[in-house]
Structure 1
Amino acid sequence: MASGSPVGSAPASSRGPGPAAHRPGRSAAMALLEVDRAFPRSARGVLKIARTVVALTVLICFVASGAHEACTALAGMETVITVLFLLLYLLKLDVRMRCLFWPLADIFNSVIAALFLLVVGLFAIIVKTNKGTLAGGVLGLILLVLCIANVVLLWKKISLDKARGRSAPANKNYMSVEE
């Protein structure tokens, strides 16, 4: 007890760091996975969630009906990519990873997905091997409409952000041509 530690407790070095030492590391990890609670309630969030649900339903229809492997692969790929973009925006990783302009990448993904979904959806409707393939084709065309709506919404967001950022010079020391 002559070591100066409180009665009945072991020295701090034998117990390891206390709970206060873990808080900075834990808060840094939690800050990395900060959830954007407003995104699911926004128009982009609702559209992304709807796209995920419809893509998963198309995948289930194609798998259950035993549709062609290309149809199933496209539906599975669209489901996975849409879930990844949903997580990217939901966890605010697009703000942290600045190596790519994510809304533009999402636009490219949506345009390419819409083209593939048009082909696969029409193929599944024309072939009509069974009702599951037909349902998957119809839902695939609905997913195509959601992809186009996503492109329009993201294009408006990009256009508005660009206009806001370049409307007037923020620096008062800015020299105009007239001077």
Structure 2
Amino acid sequence: MAEVRWDYARSMQGALKMARLITAFVAFLCFVITRSQEAYFVLTIMDFIITLLFFLLYLLKFDRKMTFLFCPLVDVFNSLIAALFFLIVGLFAIITKSNVGTLVGGIFVILSFFLCIADSIFLFKKITFNQPRGRTVTN
């Protein structure tokens, strides 16, 4: 059975992941309720699922058991790619502003963009490439 690290949930990285989860879910709800373009809500639900998986990966210490993958670096790349997509989709949603829900969803997507950038910066600062595998960003 996996051991739960509650200190991760209370850390800055855990708080950023939770904020990303909340903003992506709110943006998803805004896009679905207003029946916006499918690309808008598909992007937000995909980011929600991937961020939830990374949050659970760190919370349950699976990142330490998976020695074949350097999870913090993969998380940095995920955050940067998600930030790029969020910037593009958020600007399209705000510029088109076909209705109020799409505009609010676009604002939450832009907020998710800034959270992704902050998450990747904090993660990258904690990565040390010259230390043994047991000491990762989540220590």
- TM norm. shorter chain > 0.5: yes
- In the alignment, structure 1 residue 76 sits paired with structure 2 residue 45: yes
1:1-179 to 2 correspondences below 5 Å: 30=1, 33-158=2-127, 161-162=128-129, 165=131
Structure 1 unaligned spans of 5+: 1-29, 167-179
Q: Highest Rg: 1 or 2?
A: 1
Letter of the 2:86 counterpart: L
Task: Give the Cα–Cα distance (whole angstroms) in 2 for the partners of residues 162 and 73 of structure 1.
Answer: 34
**3-state SS in 2 of match to 1:35:** coil
Task: Give the Cα–Cα distance (whole angstroms) in 1 for the partners of residues 11 and 50 of structure 2.
Answer: 20
**3-state SS in 1 of match to 2:6:** coil
Task: Give the Cα–Cα distance (whole angstroms) in 2 for the partners of residues 37 and 124 of structure 1.
Answer: 36
Give the deviation of 1:134 after TM superposition. Answer: 0.3
TM score, norm. by length of structure 1: 0.71
TM score, norm. by length of structure 2: 0.91
Task: Give the Cα–Cα distance (whole angstroms) in 2 for the partners of residues 36 and 162 of structure 1.
Answer: 23
Task: Give the Cα–Cα distance (whole angstroms) in 2 for the partners of residues 69 and 162 of structure 1.
Answer: 40
Structure 2 unaligned spans of 5+: 133-139
Letter of the 1:118 counterpart: L
Give the deviation of 1:121 after TM superposition. Answer: 0.2
Task: Give the Cα–Cα distance (whole angstroms) in 1 for the partners of residues 105 and 34 of structure 2.
Answer: 9
**3-state SS in 2 of match to 1:38:** helix
Bigger relative contact order, structure 1 or 2, given CA contacts below 8 A and separation 6+? Answer: 2
Hey, which bits of structure 1, 4+ residues long, moved more than 4 A? none
Indicate the RMSD between aligned Cα atoms, in angstroms: 1.2
Task: Give the Cα–Cα distance (whole angstroms) in 2 for the partners of residues 156 and 150 of structure 1.
Answer: 10
The alignment of Structure 1 onto Structure 2 pairs a total of residues equal to 132
Task: Give the Cα–Cα distance (whole angstroms) in 1 for the partners of residues 67 and 22 of structure 2.
Answer: 28
Give the deviation of 1:90 after TM superposition. Answer: 0.7
Task: Give the Cα–Cα distance (whole angstroms) in 2 for the partners of residues 104 and 65 of structure 1.
Answer: 36
Deviations 1:37-67 (A, max 9, x none): 1001111111111111111111111111111
Give the deviation of 1:162 after TM superposition. Answer: 3.7
